[in-house]
């Protein structure tokens, strides 16, 4: 199998599997309990908190564990319920949909812009946005879910008040995430009912999941994975991009290779429907996405590509290839052995006329 859907989720790292298996046997106790097994579990949770804080240049006290990026995003938006909430049309649905419901006209405002988009990988100028936001006395949040492990993160240099992270994008388990909340900024708990996380998220700790997150963070730090992405993975992504443009008529890129994450490539194929391309590739053992996996049940064109191109045909004919640490040149070769034939087959039976160049 050629797996090129790392932006959706990544396979569990061997270190993570080992750490979680050990946790099931040794650190299963309720981490809020006063007894010794509870203290041991809490110590492991605090280890993960410290690792994430170290990786992003934050204080451990500024890290809150959540069930994932969507909860983290929702928590920030709900903190500013009734206030002016400003986002971009490229944001994840967990930001866009909650902002539609909860935005008002009160001040101060919240500005939420992801540093890099999950479907096309392109960067937004967060440094310029946060400078303007804070000058006006407002607050800044960024969804950094796709950034962790791919680039170095200095939360202080980014000048963010809130930031979102997820474990399963870096080889950790699904169902665990984190929210950075700068000391002193407004905050309202999303889940109420317990004293966990200093009363900032009330519920029993997902100790085993958090330990798995910690193992993934340790792997990220020990291997400096952002350097691997900037070299090996960027080369693979760019090679696939060049070959698609050179070997497949009617192909185009939706990703700016000079202004994007090194592992995401979004391409469109004229007169070929994205879901069909995905299914044909799947039959060949090549796993890709038609966009954001969170919206895979939605037949509407990608809101990201519609915002960028305004062209429904481009959006419906798009495929996202997203690379991870395990990919090699053989994976690119495998894709290009079968993708041109698939596109040619679909274009020949399509009812959409090819545009004349």
For residues 289, 351, 343, 251, the Cα torsion angle rounded to the nearest 10 degrees is: -80
Tokens of 281: 């590739």
**Among 221, 228, 253, 294, which one carries the catalytic annotation?**
294
Residues 6+ apart with CB under 8 A from 3: 11, 287, 324, 326, 327
Phi-psi region of 198 (alpha: psi -120 to 50; beta: other; left: phi over 0): left
**Locate tokens 């928590």: which residue?**
75
Is 294 labeled as catalytic in the residue annotation? yes
Distance CA 129, CA 122 (A): 16
Strand 83-87 relative to strand 251-253, pairing: unpaired
Q: How far is residue 303 from each of residues 37, 74, 232, 264, measured CA to CA in Å?
A: 47, 19, 30, 17
Q: How far is residue 242 from each of residues 248, 288, 313, measured CA to CA in Å?
A: 10, 18, 22
Distance CA 350, CA 184 (A): 57
**Residue 80 in contact with residue 58, Cβ under 8 Å?**
no
- Give the active site residues: 294
């Amino acid at each position: 199998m050629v797996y090129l859907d790392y932006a959706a989720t990544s396979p569990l790292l061997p270190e993570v599997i080992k750490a979680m298996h050990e946790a099931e046997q040794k650190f299963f106790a309720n981490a809020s309990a006063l007894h010794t097994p509870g203290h041991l579990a809490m110590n492991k949770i605090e280890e993960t908190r410290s690792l994430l804080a170290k990786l992003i240049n934050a204080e451990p006290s500024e890290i809150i564990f959540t069930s994932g990026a969507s909860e983290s995003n929702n928590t920030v938006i709900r903190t500013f319920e009734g206030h002016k909430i400003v986002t971009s049309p490229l944001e994840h649905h967990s930001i866009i949909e909650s902002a539609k419901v909860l935005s008002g006209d009160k001040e101060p405002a919240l500005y939420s812009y992801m540093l890099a988009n999950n479907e096309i990988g392109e960067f937004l100028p967060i440094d310029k946005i946060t400078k303007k936001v804070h000058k006006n006395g407002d607050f800044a949040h960024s969804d950094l879910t796709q950034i962790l492990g791919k680039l170095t993160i200095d939360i202080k240099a980014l000048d963010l008040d809130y930031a979102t992270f997820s474990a399963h994008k870096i080889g950790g388990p699904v169902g665990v995430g984190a929210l950075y909340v700068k000391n002193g900024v407004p905050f309202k708990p999303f889940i109420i009912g317990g004293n966990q996380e200093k009363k900032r998220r009330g519920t029993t700790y997902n100790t085993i999941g958090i330990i798995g997150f910690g193992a993934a963070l340790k792997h990220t730090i020990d291997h400096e994975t952002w350097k691997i992405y900037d070299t090996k993975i960027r080369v693979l992504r760019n090679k696939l991009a060049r070959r698609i443009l050179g070997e497949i008529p009617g192909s185009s890129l939706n990703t700016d290779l000079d202004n994007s994450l090194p592992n995401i490539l979004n391409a469109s194929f004229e007169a070929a429907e994205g879901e069909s391309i995905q299914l044909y590739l799947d039959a060949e053992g090549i796993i890709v996405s038609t966009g954001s996996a969170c919206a895979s049940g939605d037949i509407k064109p990608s809101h990201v590509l519609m915002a960028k191109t305004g062209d429904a045909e481009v959006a419906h004919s798009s495929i996202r290839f997203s690379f991870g640490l395990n990919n090699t040149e053989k994976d690119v070769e495998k894709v290009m052995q079968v993708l041109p034939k698939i596109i040619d087959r679909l274009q020949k039976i399509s009812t959409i006329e090819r545009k004349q160049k």
